[in-house]
Amino acid sequence: MPDTAAGRRRSLLHETRCGNCSLSSLCLPLALELEDIDQFDAIIRRRAPLKKGESLFRQGGAFTSVYAVRSGSLKQVTSEGSGADQLTNFYLPSELVGLDGIDEDAYPGSVIALETTTVCEIPFDRLDALSERLPKLRTQLYRSMSKEMRDDRRMMRLLSRKTADQRLATFFASLSDRFRRRGYSPYSFRLSMSRADIGNYLGLAVETVSRILGRFQQQGLVAVSGREVNILDLDALIELAEEEGCH
Amino acid sequence: MPDTAAGRRRSLLHETRCGNCSLSSLCLPLALELEDIDQFDAIIRRRAPLKKGESLFRQGGAFTSVYAVRSGSLKQVTSEGSGADQLTNFYLPSELVGLDGIDEDAYPGSVIALETTTVCEIPFDRLDALSERLPKLRTQLYRSMSKEMRDDRRMMRLLSRKTADQRLATFFASLSDRFRRRGYSPYSFRLSMSRADIGNYLGLAVETVSRILGRFQQQGLVAVSGREVNILDLDALIELAEEEGCH
DNA sequence: CGAAGTATTGACCAGATTCAACTCGCGTGG
DNA sequence: CCACGCGAGTTGAATCTGGTCAATACTTCG
């Protein structure tokens, strides 16, 4: 009876087993043996799906868990001092959220769902304990953090050296690549974030995002209609993204 | 006979013991018990001091170790594609260098001494193994990485939201704070990096750095003479750094 | 269907870059 | 010891990219 509460719960539980998760080749337990995966699986907690706009946690909240995105997408927003927020990251399925809260035992930003989103909650103390026994898990955790640091550096480079056009081009190329890795079309996808989010993330005004998108369209690089994106010339986008300041 | 090779080596070895290192309260082993510190100490390798301009490791080099800065300072430089380098970080004593190389098993940037600099080399495989037995060390390692992620986010905010004045103000306030924590004067110090380095780091042209430094001087915020800095009004600097875009 | 939020477009403005000239400080070698 | 030369730093003028403000269209959702 899949429609009883118990039936639904079972199917949800079943659904969250890492062993049969389609993301297992990208996610934290990627290096684990079958039996180890079960151990890992055991510490994971299900969360009810988040609806668009709901927050996974709020800035300043006590750090307890990291989260693996299972479906949907989220944004991380940090508001410092009195003023404007800074959008520091978008998270897609298989990515790990909350690692920057370990130090200071508090989340340094709020993380908000951009659409209906499900996540796996991984209590950090249990993850840490398990990582003591599973060197591969530990390694993977180090790798995840290290990767995030590398991505951050790339973002700094984008923010301090690239023109608005290059930022947008980089953004689309990167999204395309992330979708490809997850088995989706790298050429055709739907943006879950608003133009304002994109601008905030890339350090640009909304108007600039809009204008450049228009230009890209004229140049035949992409076809954009609302949040629906078709990438027409990925190579050109990538080239534009990498292009060096011509002296 | 402190002048024999053996004597010198002994004194150097002695010098590098974590137990009597003045930085131990800031550095990686900060949470360890005395006996644990000795274990940690045992895996550390001395390195000959780096002279100004020498590199600790080069971008793309195989990742083997992380390094704790003991004295002096370094910069991390990433050159992507064909063109301009990006200076992604300055490292001061007690800070950990190279953590972003774990993922990909290669250093994502070159790290270069800005002055005569000594570091402690910590082979990562041994650190990882030791962290299996010492939960506090593991925690500290997670914390270090987490902190670096947080700092990166702050940098992104600086690069995407702050004006040139605010960037410089933030830079000086942050340096001041880092010196204070290390027991040096927060008001008077010597910059080990060039104006070009500062500009590169903050995403500004050298000329802009120079001009704004001049303005700060006129406003009585700092007194700068070459690389010698005196901070005259730290509070004003901090306020300027935090100031919000006034709508 | 209407209202509020989201996106686009245009005109104008300003902060920062670029280019170029010039000065200063420092180390080297004559 | 001083002159020289080079790199680092400063200053000025012109330019330009992207931001701001304002008006207008499009969507999405109650």
Return residue ranges of chain B for CATH 2.60.120.10. 4-144
Are B100 and A149 within 8 A, CB to CB?
A: yes
For testing contact with chain B, the best of A97, A149, A166, A204 (most B CBs within 10 A): A149
Q: Indicate whether B8 pLDDT > 80.
A: no
The CATH architecture that domain A4-144 belongs to is Sandwich (2.60)
Per residue in B25-83, pLDDT (tens digit) is 899 989 899 889 999 999 999 888 999 999 999 999 999 999 999 999 999 999 987 67
Q: What is the pLDDT of residue B81?
A: 73
Q: What is the pLDDT of residue A1?
A: 46
User: Cβ distance A79 to A44 under 8 Å?
Assistant: no
Return chain A residues 197..216 having CB < 7 Å to nucleic acid strand C.
206-207, 209-211, 213-214
Q: Which nucleotide is nearest to B224 (CA to C1')?
A: D9
Quick one: what percent of chain A has pLDDT higher than 90? 82
Cβ-based neighbours of A206, under 8 Å, separated by 6 or more? A195, A196, A199
Q: Which amino acid makes up residue A150?
A: R
How many angstroms separate the CA of B81 from the C1' of D7? 27
| Average pLDDT of the residues in A182-197 | 96
**Residue nearest C14 (alpha carbon to C1'):** B163
Return residue ranges of chain B for CATH 1.10.10.10. 162-242
Cβ–Cβ contact B244 with A under 8 A: yes
- The DSSP 8-state label assigned to residue A61 in this structure reads P
Task: Kindly report the number of other CB atoms within 10 A of residue B153's CB atom.
Answer: 21
Per residue in B144-199, pLDDT (tens digit) is 999 999 999 999 999 999 999 999 999 999 999 999 999 999 999 999 999 999 99
Chain D nucleotides covered by protein, CB below 7 Å? 8-13, 17-22, 26-28
CA distance B12 to B77: 29
CA distance A96 to A143: 11
Q: What is the pLDDT of residue A17?
A: 85
Task: Provide the β-strand partners of residue A119.
Answer: A69
Cβ-based neighbours of A183, under 8 Å, separated by 6 or more? A22
Q: Indicate whether A2 pLDDT > 50.
A: no
Tally of CA atoms within 13 A in the half-sphere of B191 that contains its CB: 18
How many angstroms separate the CA of B52 from the C1' of C30? 28
CA distance B245 to B231: 24
Reduce the secondary structure of A64-113 to three states and give it as a string. Answer: CEEEEEEECCEEEEEECCCCCEEEEEEECCCCEECHHHCHHHECCCEEEE
Q: What is the pLDDT of residue A161?
A: 94
Chain C nucleotides covered by protein, CB below 7 Å? 6-11, 15-20, 25-26
Confidence tier at B6 by pLDDT (50, 70, 90): low
Cβ–Cβ contact B156 with A under 8 A: yes
The CATH architecture that domain B162-242 belongs to is Orthogonal Bundle (1.10)
Confidence tier at A103 by pLDDT (50, 70, 90): very high
Cβ-based neighbours of A128, under 8 Å, separated by 6 or more? B135, B138, B139, B142
Mean per-residue pLDDT of chain B: 91
In this structure, is the CB of residue B196 within 7 Å of any atom belonging to strand D?
A: yes
Q: What is the pLDDT of residue A14?
A: 52
Q: What is the pLDDT of residue B15?
A: 60
Question: pTM of the predicted model, to two decimals?
Answer: 0.92
How many angstroms separate the CA of A225 from the C1' of D27? 12
Quick one: what percent of chain B has pLDDT higher than 90? 81
In this structure, is the CB of residue B209 within 7 Å of any atom belonging to strand D?
A: yes
Per residue in B85-103, pLDDT (tens digit) is 899 999 999 999 999 999 9
